[in-house]
Amino acid sequence: MDHSSLCTRLAQQVIALKASSSLATVPGIKLLYADRPGGRTPVMYSSGIVILFQGQKTGYLGNTVFHYDATKYLMLTVTLPFECETFATPEEPMAGILLNVDPARLQDLLIDIGTDDSFHPEPQTRGIHTSSLTEEMLCAAERLLDVMRNPRDARVLGPQIVREILYYVLLGPCGGALLALISRQTQFSQIARAIRRIENHYTDTLSVEQLAAEVNMSVSAFHHNFKAVTSTSPLQYLKSYRLHQARMMMLQEGLKAGAAAMRVGYESASQFSREFKRYFGVTPGEEITRMRQAAL
């Protein structure tokens, strides 16, 4: 079967599963679906692999523009804020899966690969990558969607199929980036550690000097390497992360802008509102209204 026919069938499977009341979950897998276009807007993606079978997304990170669709998957090895545009219609909705990468399972997979002479992934320093979808990945994705119709199949077989998809990614052009997730003695791993520190303590007063010292880098080296991984500065990353967290608190917990601002580490509600509007293009109230309407 040709690539496009297989992707069309996979998209139909995702759409059917989304509509099903008996969807069986597989740990680390989320179905993606949208039936209307979405304009360019700031998003925050956690590390993982996005595989689309239909529709398209375009991402903007610094000066880099990247497309992912039924021919290319997207992989992030750290949590990253960037801007994203979605192309979908009711007649041809966007459909795909998000695969979270478990470092422990990835480590087990590498142990099984062992010291194979043909396995030499190129080292990668950026936090975001795209690469061509292969027939092997798509066939594994089809079996993954098949087992999500039955809870026992999903529980027993699902994790093995996820492992298979990771195996094919490791062998491809993004293998070095995936490998960087569990490498401990690289500059990438030092920056990844600093990013986890921000994620876990974003409400604290964090300085660049403090973050650099915690990963044993000079301030200038930390700045340089942080930007190589994320395409942004440490302080801008922290600000973006706080704004995204505040937005989720307002949406999910019903917090007012001032309360959300205090929760994420802002001392001034007015400064929060200014920076929120500069970042998202609308006021906090307008953004929450827009997101609730989109959810409906």
Q: What is the pLDDT of residue 296?
A: 61
Share of the chain above pLDDT 90, in %: 71
Identify the pLDDT of residue 91. 94
Across 150-154, 244-248, 289-293, least confident range: 289-293
DSSP state of 79: -
Same domain, 44 and 157: yes
Judgement on whether residues 216 and 70 belong to the same structural domain of the protein: no
Please, where are the H alpha helices in the chain?
Answer: 3-19, 103-113, 135-147, 151-171, 175-180, 187-201, 208-214, 219-230, 234-253, 257-263, 269-280, 284-295
Over the stretch 52-74, which tens digit does the pLDDT of each residue have? 999 999 999 988 899 999 999 99
Residue recorded with tokens 């990835």: 106
* pTM reported for the whole predicted model: 0.88
- The values of phi and psi at residue 65, to 5°, are -115, 130
Q: Are residues 130 and 270 in the same domain?
A: no
At 114 the pLDDT is 79
Look at the chain and report how many structural domains it folds into. Answer: 2
Domain of 204, in residue numbers: 187-295
Distance CA(95)–CA(12), nearest Å, equals: 8
CATH of the domain at 78: 2.60.120
Please give the pLDDT value at position 1. Answer: 57
Span of 22-36, 117-131, 184-198, 223-237 with lowest mean pLDDT: 117-131
- Report the chain's mean pLDDT, rounded to a whole number: 91
pLDDT digit string, tens, across residues 249-268: 998 898 999 999 999 999 99
What's the pLDDT tens digit per position in 179-221? 887 777 788 889 999 999 999 999 999 999 999 999 999 999 9
Mean pLDDT of 69-85: 94
Residue 120 sits in the same domain as residue 32: yes
Rounded to whole angstroms, how far apart are CA atoms 179 and 20?
36
Of 155, 180, 205, which residue sits at a domain end? Answer: 180
Tokens read off for 273: 């509102």
User: Are 17 and 154 in a shared domain?
Assistant: yes
